[in-house]
Amino acid sequence: MDEFTYNNIFETKGIEYLAIIAFFAILIPFWIFLNKRIKSKKRHSGVAGNLTVDSLQIPQGLFFSRFHTWAHLERSGMAKVGLDDLLVRITGEVKLNRLLESGERIRKGDFIAEIIQNDKSLKITSPISGEIVEANVLLLKNPEFLNEEPYAKGWIYKIKPTSWVADTQSYFLAEDANMWAKQELVRFKDFLAESVVKYSADPSAVVLQDGGELRGEPLADLSAEIWSDFQADFLSKKTLCRNKKCFRQEE
């Protein structure tokens, strides 16, 4: 029988191995955390660039409301709803406030949430009618999902729809959504020309890049009064589209 030999790990190089293991145990979580921060900064940098149709996310298969919300019917029969990329690109970083509870019944156009940024806020209305099945409470702790992943982790509610076809028949899909987004950017510039001039001597210096392009997050540094105008004059009016031209009208 072979003789058993006992080696004290602390009298050999074992202590060095433990130090190396401890080093990597600290380094790896830190590297993962740092990598996430870098990706987040890259995403934010992209969001803060010029605001153009080509820079917007407009996924296929989603129904886009004229009030800048979206709805997607899943195979389960449940519909997810949330904010569209154009709205969060206009406002910049926002937080969600006043979520409704599961079981509440809502109609298309009803208030469903409020987004806030410091002392500024916007009221969001539902793109469909139905019963709220689930609110995405993760958004309360991770509000960045609204801006970074508005169509994935940034959904706001799951709703059991009661009149899906009727509610979504006038919404925009695919190429129509692209055309509509282009028109909305033009109309947003018109809104700024009318509203911002009331509060700034040189509105172009505030919201436009060289060449007249909208800079990213144009509302982020503007006043609560302008946000109020945006709610009344941009979000709370319908858009009628005929012959590839869109026109705003009051509800």
Residue-wise pLDDT tens digits, 187-211: 999 998 888 778 765 555 555 655 5
Residue-wise pLDDT tens digits, 117-168: 999 999 999 999 999 999 999 999 999 999 999 999 999 999 999 999 999 9
The pLDDT of residue 234 is 94
Query: How large is the average pLDDT for residues 166-186?
Result: 95
Residue-wise pLDDT tens digits, 86-106: 999 999 999 999 899 999 999
Same domain, 66 and 139: yes
Same domain, 120 and 134: yes
Distance CA 59, CA 71 (A): 11
Domain contains 6? no
Same domain, 75 and 114: yes
Same domain, 130 and 83: yes
The pLDDT of residue 203 is 53
Domain contains 77? yes
Domain contains 52? no
Residue-wise pLDDT tens digits, 31-57: 554 554 444 444 444 445 788 999 999
Same domain, 144 and 179: no
Same domain, 75 and 159: yes
Same domain, 164 and 188: no
Same domain, 97 and 164: yes
Residue-wise pLDDT tens digits, 2-42: 555 555 555 555 566 566 666 656 666 555 545 544 444 44
Domain contains 7? no
The pLDDT of residue 3 is 58
DSSP-assigned beta bridge partners for residue 115: 96, 122
The pLDDT of residue 39 is 43
Domain contains 54? no
What is the full DSSP assignment across 152-192? TTT--EEEEESSHHHHHTTSB-HHHHHHHHHHHHHHHHHHH
Query: How large is the average pLDDT for residues 175-197?
Result: 90
Structure tokens at 63: 């129904």
Domain contains 198? yes
Q: What is the CATH number of the domain that holds 154?
A: 2.40.50.100
Query: Total domain count for the chain?
Result: 3
CA dist list (Å): 153 to 87, 94, 183: 16, 15, 27
User: What residues make up the domain containing 189?
Assistant: 174-250
Residue-wise pLDDT tens digits, 224-249: 999 999 999 999 865 544 444 444 44
Q: Give the residue among 219, 170, 165 at the shortest CA–CA distance from 191.
A: 219
The contacts found for 120-123 with CB under 8 angstroms, 24 or more apart, are: 120/219, 120/223, 120/224, 120/227, 121/97, 121/227, 122/91, 122/94, 122/227, 122/230, 122/231, 122/235, 123/231, 123/235
CA dist list (Å): 150 to 59, 109, 137, 144: 11, 20, 14, 9
Domain contains 116? yes
Last residue of a domain, one of 168, 196, 228: 168
